[in-house]
Amino acid sequence: MKRLSVLAPKLAKYYNDNKSLILNQTEYNERIIGQNNADFYALARVGEYSYAKNYVVFRDNTKWAAAVVGEIDTLWGGKKRPLFQNHAVSICEDVNGNYITLDEAHYICGIMNSSVVYDYMMQSSDSRSFPIRPRIKIPKFDKTNKKHMRIAEMSKKAHRLFEDQIAVDKIKNQLSEYYLQILSE
């Protein structure tokens, strides 16, 4: 707060004037923020990853399905990325902390939406609660690998045809074939 008072005194005053409101958040947020010894005005679920351009999102409850999310045109002008809230899990980095590309996001999404992964998730999880770190093997994306790129292209096609369930189901089966081929390499 001392540093903030120097860098942005009006913001520091606003936070202090509204301290009771800010502290009146959920216990869950308090647990997350408290673990990091953060100031009372810290925001849960915000970090460098909040500025990535490409995300694979899925819910940790209700229905197993993934989607690629990026910036969208807004009614108030300009492109913005939607915010993710409770039960919306996102992947925007690889295991080394590098942001994923759009093709890589579609590759990951395609694997997650394949019929074989869906069947596995239904058999290995309680459908009311999916793991936020799915226990599926996703080989590192390689843009020079034709099968990886094919999965990315099929995911893009499924996103375009999302209202045509018959076409999407066919794509999910094709995704499974490519995914199983990649796993056997």
pLDDT tens by residue, 80-105: 877 666 667 889 999 899 999 999 99
pLDDT value of position 127? 66
What percent helix, strand, coil does the chain show, rounded to 5? Answer: 50, 10, 40
Give the pLDDT score at 36: 60
Which residues, at least 6 apart from 116, have a Cβ–Cβ distance to it below 8 Å?
176, 179, 180
* Residue ranges of the chain whose pLDDT lies below 70: 25-37, 43-46, 83-87, 127
Is 159:68 a contact under the CB 8 Å cutoff? yes
pLDDT at 125: 78
